[in-house]
Structure 1
Amino acid sequence: MDGIETFNSLPAGELEADLLAVCAAPAWGRTVAALRPYPSKEALLTAAGTAARGLSWPEVVQGLSAHPRIGERAQGDSKEAAWSRREQSAAAGSADEETRAALIAANHAYEDKFGHVFLIFASGKSQEEILAAARARIGNDEATERAVVTGELGKIALLRLERLIDALD
Protein backbone atom coordinates (compact mmCIF):
# COMPACT_ATOMS: atom_id res chain seq x y z
CA MET A 1 0.00 0.00 0.00
CA ASP A 2 1.37 3.44 -0.84
CA GLY A 3 1.21 6.51 1.40
CA ILE A 4 -2.05 7.92 0.06
CA GLU A 5 -3.80 4.54 0.35
CA THR A 6 -2.56 4.22 3.92
CA PHE A 7 -3.70 7.79 4.67
CA ASN A 8 -7.15 7.04 3.28
CA SER A 9 -7.47 3.92 5.41
CA LEU A 10 -6.22 5.29 8.74
CA PRO A 11 -8.72 5.00 11.60
CA ALA A 12 -10.37 8.37 12.35
CA GLY A 13 -8.71 8.79 15.76
CA GLU A 14 -5.22 8.07 14.44
CA LEU A 15 -5.75 10.36 11.44
CA GLU A 16 -7.02 13.16 13.70
CA ALA A 17 -3.89 12.94 15.86
CA ASP A 18 -1.62 12.91 12.79
CA LEU A 19 -3.39 15.90 11.25
CA LEU A 20 -3.22 17.89 14.51
CA ALA A 21 0.54 17.29 14.48
CA VAL A 22 0.64 18.66 10.92
CA CYS A 23 -1.48 21.73 11.75
CA ALA A 24 -2.84 22.46 15.23
CA ALA A 25 -6.02 24.03 13.82
CA PRO A 26 -8.66 21.31 14.39
CA ALA A 27 -10.93 22.77 11.69
CA TRP A 28 -8.20 22.20 9.10
CA GLY A 29 -7.78 18.56 10.12
CA ARG A 30 -11.53 17.93 10.15
CA THR A 31 -11.86 19.35 6.64
CA VAL A 32 -8.94 17.33 5.28
CA ALA A 33 -10.18 14.13 6.92
CA ALA A 34 -13.78 14.63 5.77
CA LEU A 35 -12.76 14.70 2.12
CA ARG A 36 -11.23 11.20 2.15
CA PRO A 37 -10.63 9.14 0.13
CA TYR A 38 -8.14 11.01 -2.02
CA PRO A 39 -7.25 9.63 -5.44
CA SER A 40 -3.67 10.91 -5.21
CA LYS A 41 -1.17 12.76 -3.07
CA GLU A 42 -1.60 15.80 -5.31
CA ALA A 43 -5.37 15.80 -4.71
CA LEU A 44 -4.78 15.61 -0.97
CA LEU A 45 -2.30 18.50 -1.05
CA THR A 46 -4.67 20.61 -3.16
CA ALA A 47 -7.55 20.01 -0.74
CA ALA A 48 -5.29 20.68 2.26
CA GLY A 49 -4.11 23.96 0.74
CA THR A 50 -7.69 25.04 0.11
CA ALA A 51 -8.60 24.10 3.70
CA ALA A 52 -5.69 26.16 5.05
CA ARG A 53 -6.69 29.22 3.05
CA GLY A 54 -10.26 28.83 4.34
CA LEU A 55 -9.36 28.99 8.03
CA SER A 56 -10.89 31.81 10.05
CA TRP A 57 -8.51 34.02 12.01
CA PRO A 58 -9.37 32.32 15.36
CA GLU A 59 -8.59 28.96 13.71
CA VAL A 60 -5.26 30.31 12.43
CA VAL A 61 -4.46 31.47 15.98
CA GLN A 62 -5.13 27.89 17.15
CA GLY A 63 -2.64 26.72 14.54
CA LEU A 64 -0.07 29.27 15.72
CA SER A 65 -0.31 28.02 19.30
CA ALA A 66 1.82 24.99 18.44
CA HIS A 67 4.68 26.95 16.87
CA PRO A 68 7.68 28.10 18.89
CA ARG A 69 9.32 31.44 18.25
CA ILE A 70 11.76 31.41 15.36
CA GLY A 71 15.15 30.52 16.78
CA GLU A 72 13.68 28.71 19.81
CA ARG A 73 13.90 24.96 19.91
CA ALA A 74 10.55 23.14 19.96
CA GLN A 75 10.26 21.01 23.07
CA GLY A 76 8.99 17.46 23.38
CA ASP A 77 8.98 14.19 21.52
CA SER A 78 5.93 14.84 19.34
CA LYS A 79 6.01 14.66 15.55
CA GLU A 80 5.21 18.36 15.45
CA ALA A 81 8.16 19.27 17.69
CA ALA A 82 10.49 17.14 15.57
CA TRP A 83 9.23 18.75 12.35
CA SER A 84 9.65 22.23 13.84
CA ARG A 85 13.22 21.48 14.89
CA ARG A 86 13.96 20.13 11.40
CA GLU A 87 12.40 23.14 9.67
CA GLN A 88 14.42 25.59 11.73
CA SER A 89 17.65 23.58 11.96
CA ALA A 90 19.35 24.93 8.85
CA ALA A 91 18.58 28.51 9.78
CA ALA A 92 19.58 28.01 13.41
CA GLY A 93 23.18 27.30 12.56
CA SER A 94 23.53 29.98 9.94
CA ALA A 95 23.67 33.17 12.01
CA ASP A 96 26.14 34.92 14.25
CA GLU A 97 25.31 36.16 17.76
CA GLU A 98 24.41 39.64 16.51
CA THR A 99 21.86 38.24 14.05
CA ARG A 100 20.42 35.88 16.67
CA ALA A 101 20.03 38.81 19.09
CA ALA A 102 18.40 40.92 16.38
CA LEU A 103 16.00 38.07 15.59
CA ILE A 104 15.00 37.81 19.26
CA ALA A 105 14.36 41.57 19.31
CA ALA A 106 12.35 41.37 16.07
CA ASN A 107 10.30 38.47 17.49
CA HIS A 108 9.41 40.56 20.55
CA ALA A 109 8.58 43.66 18.50
CA TYR A 110 6.40 41.56 16.20
CA GLU A 111 4.58 39.93 19.13
CA ASP A 112 4.07 43.32 20.80
CA LYS A 113 2.45 44.64 17.63
CA PHE A 114 0.40 41.63 16.51
CA GLY A 115 -0.13 39.63 19.72
CA HIS A 116 1.14 36.29 18.39
CA VAL A 117 4.37 34.60 17.35
CA PHE A 118 6.07 35.53 14.11
CA LEU A 119 5.39 32.63 11.77
CA ILE A 120 7.37 32.02 8.63
CA PHE A 121 7.96 29.03 6.41
CA ALA A 122 11.57 28.68 7.57
CA SER A 123 12.68 25.70 5.48
CA GLY A 124 15.54 26.71 3.24
CA LYS A 125 15.88 30.22 4.72
CA SER A 126 18.87 31.59 6.60
CA GLN A 127 18.38 33.49 9.85
CA GLU A 128 19.38 36.64 7.97
CA GLU A 129 16.52 36.07 5.51
CA ILE A 130 14.11 35.35 8.36
CA LEU A 131 15.23 38.49 10.19
CA ALA A 132 14.71 40.60 7.07
CA ALA A 133 11.21 39.15 6.64
CA ALA A 134 10.34 39.79 10.30
CA ARG A 135 11.49 43.40 10.06
CA ALA A 136 9.55 43.94 6.82
CA ARG A 137 6.39 42.31 8.14
CA ILE A 138 6.36 44.44 11.30
CA GLY A 139 5.42 47.25 8.91
CA ASN A 140 2.28 45.44 7.75
CA ASP A 141 -1.17 46.44 8.92
CA GLU A 142 -3.23 43.85 10.80
CA ALA A 143 -5.26 42.66 7.80
CA THR A 144 -2.21 42.27 5.56
CA GLU A 145 -0.29 40.40 8.22
CA ARG A 146 -3.18 38.04 8.95
CA ALA A 147 -3.24 37.09 5.27
CA VAL A 148 0.53 36.52 5.28
CA VAL A 149 0.38 34.42 8.46
CA THR A 150 -2.46 32.32 7.06
CA GLY A 151 -0.37 31.67 3.94
CA GLU A 152 2.73 30.76 5.95
CA LEU A 153 0.73 28.38 8.16
CA GLY A 154 -0.63 26.74 5.01
CA LYS A 155 2.85 26.30 3.52
CA ILE A 156 4.10 24.69 6.74
CA ALA A 157 1.05 22.41 6.91
CA LEU A 158 1.55 21.25 3.32
CA LEU A 159 5.22 20.48 3.88
CA ARG A 160 4.39 18.51 7.02
CA LEU A 161 1.52 16.71 5.30
CA GLU A 162 3.87 15.66 2.50
CA ARG A 163 6.28 14.31 5.13
CA LEU A 164 3.44 12.42 6.80
CA ILE A 165 2.37 10.83 3.51
CA ASP A 166 5.97 9.95 2.64
CA ALA A 167 6.38 8.31 6.06
CA LEU A 168 3.26 6.20 5.39
CA ASP A 169 4.78 4.79 2.17
Structure 2
Amino acid sequence: MATIDDFNDEPADQAVQALRACNAAPRFAAELVAGRPYRDADTLMARAEAVARELPWEDVAVALAAHPRIGDRVEGSSAEAESSRREQSSMGAADEDTRAALLAGNRAYEERFDHVFLIRASGRTPAEMLAELRRRLDNDEETERAEVTEQLAQITALRVKALVS
Protein backbone atom coordinates (compact mmCIF):
# COMPACT_ATOMS: atom_id res chain seq x y z
CA MET A 1 0.00 0.00 0.00
CA ALA A 2 1.22 3.46 -0.76
CA THR A 3 -1.52 5.96 0.04
CA ILE A 4 -4.42 6.37 2.42
CA ASP A 5 -6.78 5.74 -0.51
CA ASP A 6 -5.00 2.44 -1.21
CA PHE A 7 -5.39 1.49 2.45
CA ASN A 8 -9.06 2.44 2.51
CA ASP A 9 -9.80 0.49 -0.70
CA GLU A 10 -7.67 -2.60 0.03
CA PRO A 11 -9.59 -5.85 0.67
CA ALA A 12 -9.96 -6.29 4.44
CA ASP A 13 -7.74 -9.39 4.65
CA GLN A 14 -4.91 -7.62 2.84
CA ALA A 15 -5.24 -4.51 5.00
CA VAL A 16 -5.17 -6.68 8.14
CA GLN A 17 -2.03 -8.43 6.90
CA ALA A 18 -0.29 -5.10 6.25
CA LEU A 19 -1.29 -3.79 9.69
CA ARG A 20 -0.04 -6.93 11.46
CA ALA A 21 3.48 -5.84 10.44
CA CYS A 22 2.84 -2.57 12.30
CA ASN A 23 1.45 -4.22 15.43
CA ALA A 24 1.00 -7.99 15.73
CA ALA A 25 -1.94 -7.82 18.16
CA PRO A 26 -4.93 -9.18 16.20
CA ARG A 27 -7.33 -6.73 17.85
CA PHE A 28 -5.23 -3.82 16.60
CA ALA A 29 -5.59 -4.67 12.92
CA ALA A 30 -9.25 -5.63 13.25
CA GLU A 31 -10.16 -2.32 14.90
CA LEU A 32 -8.30 -0.22 12.35
CA VAL A 33 -9.78 -2.05 9.38
CA ALA A 34 -13.28 -1.78 10.89
CA GLY A 35 -12.80 2.00 11.14
CA ARG A 36 -12.18 2.53 7.44
CA PRO A 37 -12.34 4.77 5.52
CA TYR A 38 -9.95 7.25 7.07
CA ARG A 39 -9.95 10.89 5.95
CA ASP A 40 -6.15 11.11 5.74
CA ALA A 41 -2.93 9.49 6.94
CA ASP A 42 -2.80 11.63 10.10
CA THR A 43 -6.26 10.44 11.14
CA LEU A 44 -5.23 6.83 10.58
CA MET A 45 -2.01 7.33 12.56
CA ALA A 46 -3.87 8.95 15.45
CA ARG A 47 -6.37 6.08 15.52
CA ALA A 48 -3.55 3.52 15.35
CA GLU A 49 -1.83 5.14 18.32
CA ALA A 50 -5.08 5.29 20.30
CA VAL A 51 -5.96 1.65 19.61
CA ALA A 52 -2.45 0.53 20.59
CA ARG A 53 -2.69 2.48 23.86
CA GLU A 54 -6.05 0.84 24.66
CA LEU A 55 -4.92 -2.75 24.11
CA PRO A 56 -5.23 -5.05 27.11
CA TRP A 57 -1.93 -6.45 28.36
CA GLU A 58 -2.61 -9.86 26.75
CA ASP A 59 -2.69 -8.21 23.32
CA VAL A 60 0.36 -6.09 24.09
CA ALA A 61 2.18 -9.33 24.97
CA VAL A 62 1.29 -10.76 21.53
CA ALA A 63 2.73 -7.65 19.88
CA LEU A 64 5.86 -7.84 22.07
CA ALA A 65 6.53 -11.39 20.95
CA ALA A 66 6.99 -10.10 17.38
CA HIS A 67 9.66 -7.54 18.36
CA PRO A 68 13.37 -8.37 18.38
CA ARG A 69 15.65 -7.34 21.21
CA ILE A 70 17.27 -3.94 20.95
CA GLY A 71 20.73 -4.54 19.57
CA ASP A 72 20.00 -7.92 17.98
CA ARG A 73 20.76 -8.25 14.32
CA VAL A 74 17.32 -8.66 12.75
CA GLU A 75 17.12 -11.42 10.17
CA GLY A 76 14.48 -12.08 7.53
CA SER A 77 12.68 -10.19 4.82
CA SER A 78 9.25 -9.73 6.40
CA ALA A 79 7.79 -6.24 6.63
CA GLU A 80 8.23 -6.38 10.42
CA ALA A 81 11.92 -7.38 10.09
CA GLU A 82 12.53 -4.57 7.61
CA SER A 83 10.85 -2.08 9.94
CA SER A 84 12.92 -3.27 12.89
CA ARG A 85 16.16 -2.96 10.92
CA ARG A 86 15.25 0.56 9.82
CA GLU A 87 14.19 1.60 13.33
CA GLN A 88 17.32 0.18 14.94
CA SER A 89 19.70 1.52 12.29
CA SER A 90 21.50 3.69 14.88
CA MET A 91 22.74 0.47 16.50
CA GLY A 92 25.18 0.15 13.61
CA ALA A 93 27.20 2.96 15.21
CA ALA A 94 27.17 1.43 18.71
CA ASP A 95 30.57 0.65 20.21
CA GLU A 96 31.28 -2.79 21.68
CA ASP A 97 30.86 -1.60 25.28
CA THR A 98 27.39 -0.25 24.56
CA ARG A 99 26.44 -3.42 22.68
CA ALA A 100 27.64 -5.58 25.57
CA ALA A 101 25.78 -3.41 28.09
CA LEU A 102 22.58 -3.66 26.03
CA LEU A 103 22.94 -7.43 25.83
CA ALA A 104 23.39 -7.69 29.60
CA GLY A 105 20.60 -5.19 30.19
CA ASN A 106 18.24 -7.12 27.91
CA ARG A 107 18.91 -10.31 29.87
CA ALA A 108 18.30 -8.57 33.21
CA TYR A 109 15.14 -6.94 31.89
CA GLU A 110 13.75 -10.21 30.54
CA GLU A 111 14.47 -11.96 33.84
CA ARG A 112 12.71 -9.17 35.72
CA PHE A 113 9.68 -8.62 33.47
CA ASP A 114 9.48 -11.87 31.44
CA HIS A 115 9.28 -10.12 28.07
CA VAL A 116 11.51 -8.24 25.65
CA PHE A 117 12.52 -4.66 26.41
CA LEU A 118 10.54 -2.47 24.01
CA ILE A 119 11.51 1.06 23.13
CA ARG A 120 10.92 3.30 20.15
CA ALA A 121 14.42 3.09 18.70
CA SER A 122 13.74 5.50 15.86
CA GLY A 123 15.40 8.83 16.62
CA ARG A 124 17.35 7.50 19.60
CA THR A 125 21.04 6.76 19.96
CA PRO A 126 22.29 3.47 21.40
CA ALA A 127 23.40 5.33 24.54
CA GLU A 128 19.91 6.81 24.99
CA MET A 129 18.31 3.39 24.62
CA LEU A 130 20.74 1.90 27.12
CA ALA A 131 20.00 4.67 29.62
CA GLU A 132 16.26 4.06 29.23
CA LEU A 133 16.73 0.32 29.69
CA ARG A 134 18.66 0.89 32.90
CA ARG A 135 16.09 3.41 34.17
CA ARG A 136 13.16 1.14 33.42
CA LEU A 137 14.73 -1.81 35.23
CA ASP A 138 13.75 0.02 38.43
CA ASN A 139 10.06 0.21 37.46
CA ASP A 140 7.44 -1.87 39.18
CA GLU A 141 5.43 -4.16 36.89
CA GLU A 142 2.43 -1.83 36.52
CA THR A 143 4.60 1.18 35.66
CA GLU A 144 6.61 -0.86 33.19
CA ARG A 145 3.53 -2.22 31.47
CA ALA A 146 2.33 1.36 30.98
CA GLU A 147 5.71 2.36 29.52
CA VAL A 148 5.77 -0.68 27.23
CA THR A 149 2.27 0.12 25.97
CA GLU A 150 3.26 3.73 25.27
CA GLN A 151 6.39 2.64 23.40
CA LEU A 152 4.33 0.16 21.39
CA ALA A 153 1.88 2.93 20.48
CA GLN A 154 4.71 5.17 19.27
CA ILE A 155 6.30 2.37 17.23
CA THR A 156 2.92 1.43 15.79
CA ALA A 157 2.18 5.01 14.71
CA LEU A 158 5.55 5.30 12.96
CA ARG A 159 4.99 2.02 11.13
CA VAL A 160 1.46 2.94 10.08
CA LYS A 161 2.77 6.27 8.81
CA ALA A 162 5.36 4.41 6.71
CA LEU A 163 2.63 2.11 5.43
CA VAL A 164 0.59 4.97 3.95
CA SER A 165 3.32 7.45 3.04
With structure 1 as the length reference, what TM-score do the two structures score? 0.94
Q: Tell me the amino acid that sits aligned with residue 85 of structure 1.
A: R
Indicate the residue corresponding to 2:131 in structure 1. 132
Matched, 1:45 2:17: no
Instruction: Using the TM superposition, name which of 143-152 and 46-55 deviates more.
Output: 46-55
C-alpha displacement at 1:19, in angstroms?
0.5
Count of aligned pairs between the two proteins: 164
Indicate the residue corresponding to 2:54 in structure 1. 54
In the alignment, the residues of structure 2 paired with residue 118 and residue 155 of structure 1 have an alpha-carbon distance, to the nearest angstrom, of 14
Q: Which stretches of structure 1, 4 residues or more, deviate above 6 A after TM superposition?
A: none
User: Residue 144 of structure 1 aligns to a residue in which SS?
Assistant: helix
Indicate the residue corresponding to 1:9 in structure 2. 9
Q: Tell me the amino acid that sits aligned with residue 146 of structure 1.
A: R
C-alpha displacement at 1:13, in angstroms?
1.2
- Preserved CA contact (<8 Å) 2:46 2:157: no
User: Residue 22 of structure 1 aligns to a residue in which SS?
Assistant: coil
Indicate the residue corresponding to 2:106 in structure 1. 107
In the alignment, the residues of structure 1 paired with residue 9 and residue 35 of structure 2 have an alpha-carbon distance, to the nearest angstrom, of 12
C-alpha displacement at 1:163, in angstroms?
0.4
Q: Percent identity?
A: 49
Q: CA offsets per residue over residues 30-61 of structure 1, 9 Å max, x none? A: 11111001111121111111101110000000
Q: Tell me the amino acid that sits aligned with residue 97 of structure 1.
A: E
- Preserved CA contact (<8 Å) 2:16 2:29: yes
Q: CA offsets per residue over residues 3-43 of structure 1, 9 Å max, x none? A: 11111000111111101011111111111111001111121
C-alpha displacement at 1:93, in angstroms?
2.0
In the alignment, the residues of structure 2 paired with residue 73 and residue 157 of structure 1 have an alpha-carbon distance, to the nearest angstrom, of 20
Consecutive unaligned residues of structure 2, counting only runs of 5 or more, are none
In the alignment, the residues of structure 2 paired with residue 77 and residue 94 of structure 1 have an alpha-carbon distance, to the nearest angstrom, of 22
Indicate the residue corresponding to 1:77 in structure 2. 77
In the alignment, the residues of structure 1 paired with residue 73 and residue 99 of structure 2 have an alpha-carbon distance, to the nearest angstrom, of 13
Consecutive unaligned residues of structure 1, counting only runs of 5 or more, are none
